[in-house]
Amino acid sequence: MSSPRTSDVLVIGGGIIGLVTAWRAAQRGFATTVVDPAPGGGAAQVAAGMLAAVTELHFGEQTLLGLNLASARRYPDFVAELTELTGHDLGYRRCGTLAVALDTDDRAHLRELHALQRQSGLESEWLSGRECRRLEPMLAPGVRGGLRVDGDHQVDPRRLAGALLAACERAGVVFRRAWAERLSVVGERATGVVTRDGTALGAGQVVLAGGSLSGRLAGVPQDVLPPVRPVKGQVLRLTVPQRYAPFLSRTVRAVVRGSQVYLVPRENGELVVGATSEELGWDTTVTAGGVYELLRDAHELVPGITELPLTETRAGLRPGSPDNAPLLGPTGLAGLLLATGHYRNGVLLTPVTGDALAHALATGELPDEARPFAPRRFAAAALSELPA
Ligand SMILES: Cc1cc2nc3c(=O)[nH]c(=O)nc-3n(C[C@H](O)[C@H](O)[C@H](O)COP(=O)(O)OP(=O)(O)OC[C@H]3O[C@@H](n4cnc5c(N)ncnc54)[C@H](O)[C@@H]3O)c2cc1C
């Protein structure tokens, strides 16, 4: 079936990654459509919004670090542009982060992370437990030491999604509130999608930005289908009453019994506590166990949280990829690009993804900083594993 060409660029998925792609594409003059039954939803409704290039550094992820840092550097201008255009306050807070250790094992792990950060040229300062508590008096007396990282900030992902929606609307992006059922392929080229109600939407180029569902779109050839999986995260939202403010002045995080826990204080009094990491398919049930573990670990870090009203519990799905890094740009199928697999850094990577995809849509090439994240890295790995 041939599709009528109704737009230059059709983006499947209106999460923050699809929206930033659509906005930047429209700014470049492409007639752009987003297909999503509920644009502005997705994982950003759950995410904490840490912009944590330094404290999220993991061994073996130095390539991703380059992209994370490139995006972190763009954040101030990105927020200023979006705010000026839409009038939305994104809750961008340049507050820094304190990563602390509660026992000797955690302390040793944090020391190693500090060494890796310094080898990578990152700014991060080791503090004693007493120095940590001087910065954040609500911390538990048992804190053994920590890393002060003044460059890891935060944004409110819900506000970011709202601002991106408004920016897209202003730039003339068309929204189709529908489910894309199947990619249309004619010859060797992606030509659009067919929605669940059978409507064919044509496009010169299609960007698949379906978050954790990106690997499930029918019609995408097997060797091009992104290897993306859902990684569930449960998150709590508490409120800091005025009489306790400022409860925390920066993001505080730790590894407690092998699990990550963080507390992200917003300027409006919201305190986000996250997050579990569970491989359970597309399940988004909030469980008693998940809430219990988060509260238990957060309480060990900051005992005073038990006084705060618990206002929301929610679970979302991170789009995980085999190397924890995103898949960006052209695929082996002409006319199909990917913007997916952002896993635990999708909020941080929003600015650089928008720029990289707009560049790829206009030129067919990724900009230098995004080249290591071309989807073909997985196709090549799969081919080399085939028996001779
Ligand atoms: C608990 C948790 C905490 C997090 N914390 C942070 C953090 O602190 N910092 C950070 O940087 N990142 C964080 N993240 C990660 C970040 O939220 C995600 O990487 C990012 O939101 C992914 O955005 P996305 O647009 O790619 O996908 P999604 O948000 O999943 O959006 C995909 C959209 O595509 C739509 N869609 C899918 N398939 C189709 C289809 N066939 N047709 C039409 N529409 C379709 C869906 O409806 C959805 O709206 C966190 C995530 C979670 C879950």
Q: Which whole number is the average pLDDT over 173-186?
A: 98
Give me ligand 1 centre to Cα 325, in Å: 14
212-214-219 Cα angle (round to 5): 150
| Average pLDDT of the chain to the nearest whole number | 95
Tokens of 48: 């904490």
Mutate to test the pocket of ligand 1, among 10, 17, 324 (most ligand atoms within 8 A of CB): 17
Give the bridge partners for 127, in sequence order: 146
Tell me the C-alpha distance between 259 and 154, whole Å: 21
Average pLDDT for residues 8-31, to the nearest whole number?
A: 98
Percentage of the chain surpassing pLDDT 70? 96
Query: Which residue of 24, 36, 58, 252 sits with most ligand 1 atoms within 8 Å of its CB, as the best mutation to test the pocket?
Result: 36
Residue 43 token pair: 């994982």
Identify the bridge partners of residue 234 per DSSP, sorted by sequence position.
315
List pLDDT tens digits, range 45-68: 999 999 999 999 988 898 999 999
Report which ligand 1 atom has the smallest distance to the Cα of 345.
Answer: 11
Please report, to the nearest 10 degrees, the dihedral formed by the alpha carbons of residues 67, 72, 73, 74 taken in order.
90
Percentage above 90 pLDDT, the chain: 91
pLDDT at 144 over 70: yes
Q: What is the pLDDT of residue 3?
A: 46
Contact 179 CB / ligand 1 (< 6 Å): yes
**Average confidence (pLDDT) over 313-342:** 98
Q: Is the pLDDT of residue 388 over 90?
A: no
pTM to 2 decimals? 0.96
- 3-state secondary structure (DSSP) of residue 51: strand
Residue 141: φ, ψ to 5°: -60, -25
Token pair, residue 93, equals 């807070």
Residue from 220, 318, 336 to probe ligand 1 pocket by mutation (most atoms less than 8 Å from CB): 318
2 pLDDT tier (thresholds 50, 70, 90): very low
Q: What was the pLDDT predicted at 5? A: 56
CA of 369 to the centre of ligand 1 (A): 22
CA distance 222 to 321: 16
Torsion of CA 334, 339, 343, 347, to 10 degrees: 170
